[in-house]
Amino acid sequence: MGKGSKADLCFLRPMLLWLSLVVLAMSGCAWPLQDTVDAPETAPSSLSDTSNDGPRRRVTMEDLKKIHPPVATEPLHITDRSKEKSFTVVGGETCPAPPKDSGPDDHTASEIKSQSVLDEALDFCQVSQDFWQKGELENALEALDQAYSLILEVDTYDNPKLIQQKEDLRFMISKRILEIYASRNIVVNGVHKAIPLTMNRHVQAEIDSFTTDKREKKFFIASYKRSGLYRPYIVQQLKMAGLPEELSWLPLIESGFKVNALSRARALGLWQFISSTGYKFGLKRDQFIDERLDPEKSTLAAIAYLKELHQIFGDWATVLAAYNCGEGRVLRVIRSQNVNYLDNFWDLYRRLPRETARYVPRFIATLHILKDPEKYGLDEIEPLPALTFDRVTVSRSLHLKEIAKAIGTSESEMRALNPELRVAILPHEEYSLRVPPGKGELLLAKLDSIPKYTHPVNSFAYYRVRRGDSLSTIAERHHTTVGNIMRANNLRKSNYIVAGQTLKIPQRGSRTPAITAGSKPSTNPSRHVVRRGDSLWNIARRYGTTVKNIQAANSLRSTRLYIGQVLEIPGQRQRKAAASAGKDYRTYTVKRGDSPFKIAQAHNMSLQQFLRINSLTSRSTIYPGQCLNVK
């Protein structure tokens, strides 16, 4: 076959690219862009323009000789078995050779010739690398074509060494072809303008939407204003990572530059990370913080993700699509495409999800608008100034409200500076807190005087499961939910409870009161006769006491009750005495169908007053037979 004609090589290249994908997939390696060799920083403005050495031309053996001296100096005989013709390699050129009689050393001589051809193919690979460094991509591809055409004719004669070399060369050629195809946009346009500003009907439709539709235009303007808060930091980090600055506008499409934006897919933050992807790129999440909400940490994670996607896909349009809908979805679409998909993202356009199909045109439309804002009537809009703040390391659990009060600022401003704090409470471990400029030293001076935040203690009642019980009936009986009971007891299945099992029942809106050592339950008890459906938990709520106090007053070792049992309720006589001491109050026994509002209205009281004198809240439940104070 020799070096082959131009037409043969052009036909061969799509097959080579397909083979490259197969070889790399079987080897399990990612498409290398930066790990193997750096792409050139400058290049011709067009692949079809003239190169550094004049008009683009086909790679010849003269190019090879200029860069690397010939490897073989003696004629090498190669047999084309498919056509039963013989060729002789002389200094890299091929010509027909006279027939040669086979002899005892013919097999060894053939192996030597095969080795020489493999060496020549390796030289072509090096020539291709040199052309790529100069930015001559077509010549680099042609050199790889020549190398591949050489190894196709090599017979390894079952020699393990030759077989390994041939496979290594095939793998190297496959990798180089993918590197060159994937780096086309970068080589042509330069590092910081690697995103091509395509203009087609899809992009134009999004430009019209942003500039004429009232809702879309309002969103665009508001997002553009907010961009000033975070974009300077994003641009700085993109430059340090060697990525295009244009990617700093990606949050405008993702979240409108809102740090607390939440999508229907539960993606959160400026860069819209779902929890699993955020965790993959180092964004922590616990009961106090969610780093997806932090503009700085999420920016670093997004840059790492974009770099990984670019190593997989190579061109930025496909990278953006994968960022939106996931690399797995894009790879599945690519498998059904022409092997030259890297040349044209729009081949994928109609097969992507609708949201993703619009995502890339919207981003490119944004770049067009911001490149010439005057043309679209947005030149008078000024972004907000960048966020400025001081940092203070705090190792105590404090509430932002108390911190704001101590340094003379508002809680809302502290929340805006520290969006990753989920409940406005600092975690127990060391935390780098952002405060308004000039407030750092003041906070350090007052840090010890700020009260430490005490986290509410969950209060539980205990219930022993009886035959016929289910979590739903238990939850309904105790005025809670199945989910709350499952979480309190670490249950994985809601249909698996056993008779005799003790469950913790969370009490809604209550806290376990602190009981100091040596303190005893209140004396002067009242009495309660246990009825069907009663439990220590709802009896304690009814009388405004706790399960532990009732157990202590009645010497109960468990929470098990029986119908007709008489319980002493601590503190009730004292409460009744206090109530009877008030001249304006009398006792009312709750009847079936009563509610706090009805009782208050019937006795010419406001609901707030009725709740206050009975130590109730708006969430409290009253029961038939319960004694309450009224006017």
Residue of higher predicted confidence among 258 and 31: 258
Q: For residue 208, give both structure tokens.
A: 């019209």
Q: 553 and 568 in contact (C-beta within 8 Å)? A: yes
CATH number at residue 618: 3.10.350.10
Amino acid at 122: L
Q: Which domain holds residue 431?
A: 390-449
| Listed residues 165, 189, 213: the one ending a domain | 189
Residue 333 lies in a domain: yes
410 and 273 inside one domain: no
Residue of higher predicted confidence among 531 and 467: 467
CATH number at residue 242: 1.10.530.10
77 and 159 inside one domain: yes
348 and 229 inside one domain: yes
Structure confidence by residue, pLDDT tens digits, 397-427 = 899 999 999 999 999 999 999 999 998 999 9
Alpha carbons 94 and 75: distance in angstroms, whole number: 9
Query: Does the pLDDT value for residue 91 go beyond 50?
Result: no
**pLDDT given at position 61:** 53
37 and 134 inside one domain: yes
Of 14-23, 139-148, 500-509, the one with minimum mean pLDDT is: 14-23
- Give the containing element (helix H, strand E) for 311: helix 295-313
258 and 287 inside one domain: yes
371 and 418 inside one domain: no
Helix, coil or strand: residue 81: coil
Alpha carbons 586 and 588: distance in angstroms, whole number: 7
Query: How confident is the model over 139-144, as a mean pLDDT?
Result: 86
171 and 212 inside one domain: no
For 36-70, give the DSSP string: S-PPPS---SSTTS-BTTBS-----HHHHHHHS--
Alpha carbons 255 and 265: distance in angstroms, whole number: 13
96 and 164 inside one domain: yes
Query: Does the pLDDT value for residue 537 go beyond 70?
Result: yes
| Listed residues 144, 165, 189: the one ending a domain | 189
229 and 346 inside one domain: yes
Q: Is the pTM of the predicted complex or chain greater than 0.85? A: no
Is 142 a residue of the active site?
Answer: no
**pLDDT given at position 574:** 45
Distance linking the first and last C-alpha atoms of the chain: 110
Long-range (24+ apart) CB contacts under 8 A made by 399-406 are 399/424, 399/425, 399/426, 399/453, 400/424, 400/425, 400/426, 402/450, 402/451, 402/453, 403/433, 403/435, 403/443, 403/450, 406/442, 406/443, 406/446, 406/449, 406/450
Rg of the Cα trace of the chain?
Answer: 38
318 and 172 inside one domain: no
Structure confidence by residue, pLDDT tens digits, 483-499 = 888 888 888 776 778 88
Residue 619 lies in a domain: yes
241 and 369 inside one domain: yes
| Listed residues 189, 209, 229: the one ending a domain | 189
What total number of domains does the chain contain? 4
Q: 249 and 367 in contact (C-beta within 8 Å)? A: yes
- Give the containing element (helix H, strand E) for 92: none
For 530-545, give the DSSP string: --TT--HHHHHHHHT-
**pLDDT given at position 410:** 93
Q: 176 and 125 in contact (C-beta within 8 Å)? A: yes
Per-chain mean pLDDT for the chain: 76
93 - beta bridge partners?
90
Residue 600 lies in a domain: yes
Residue 148 lies in a domain: yes
Residue 528 lies in a domain: no
Residue 350 lies in a domain: yes
Query: How confident is the model over 559-574, as a mean pLDDT?
Result: 73
Query: Does the pLDDT value for residue 570 go beyond 50?
Result: yes
Residue 598 lies in a domain: yes
371 and 435 inside one domain: no
Of 54-63, 499-508, 537-546, 582-591, the one with minimum mean pLDDT is: 54-63
User: Which pLDDT band holds residue 97 (cuts at 50, 70, 90)?
Assistant: very low
Residue 78 lies in a domain: yes
- Three-state SS letters, 406-451: HHCCCHHHHHHHCCCECCCECCCCCEEEEECCCCHHHHHHHHHHCC
Burial class (CB in 10 A: 0-12, 13-18, 19+), 230: buried
**pLDDT given at position 528:** 81
CATH number at residue 420: 3.10.350
Catalytic residue (choose from 254, 291, 327, 420): 254
Alpha carbons 281 and 297: distance in angstroms, whole number: 10
Structure confidence by residue, pLDDT tens digits, 450-478 = 988 876 656 677 888 888 888 888 888 88
